[in-house]
Amino acid sequence: MQDKNSFAITPHLQDKPMNQLVTTARTQSIVVSYDISKQWYEERSRQAKWSFNTAITLAIVAGSFGVLTAVSLSKGNITASVATATISLVSGVATRRSFDLFKEANQRLDEAAKTLLEE
């Protein structure tokens, strides 16, 4: 029976010298740390890609809305002042949100790269 303060060496490691066991433990620790860092970076990268794709989609939607407003104006369905106000409002909101998403995505990737380089 083993004391609660002692530990058992698994059978496949019993015949290895202690320095090799320590090296194996360090290597396993580094591999686990690398895997966690890699997963963390991949998640940050995925979030940044999502932010970028959302910003691009928002820009496309704003552009499409502008085209639809121009078509409505040319058909005489709306006045020029309404078209101008609508397009400027929608494009202003879309542009601001797109820049925020781009900035957020870049900051996430920069932060992830900086953290990984520090380790």
| pLDDT tens column, 41-99 | 788 788 878 878 888 888 888 888 888 888 988 898 889 888 888 888 888 888 888 88
The confidence band for 10, taking pLDDT boundaries of 50, 70 and 90, is low
The confidence band for 106, taking pLDDT boundaries of 50, 70 and 90, is confident
Write the DSSP symbol of residue 13. G
The domains of the chain are located at 24-76, 78-118
**According to the model, what pLDDT value does residue 38 have?**
77
Structure tokens belonging to residue 12: 């496949």
CA atoms within 13 A of residue 36's CA, in its CB half-sphere: 8
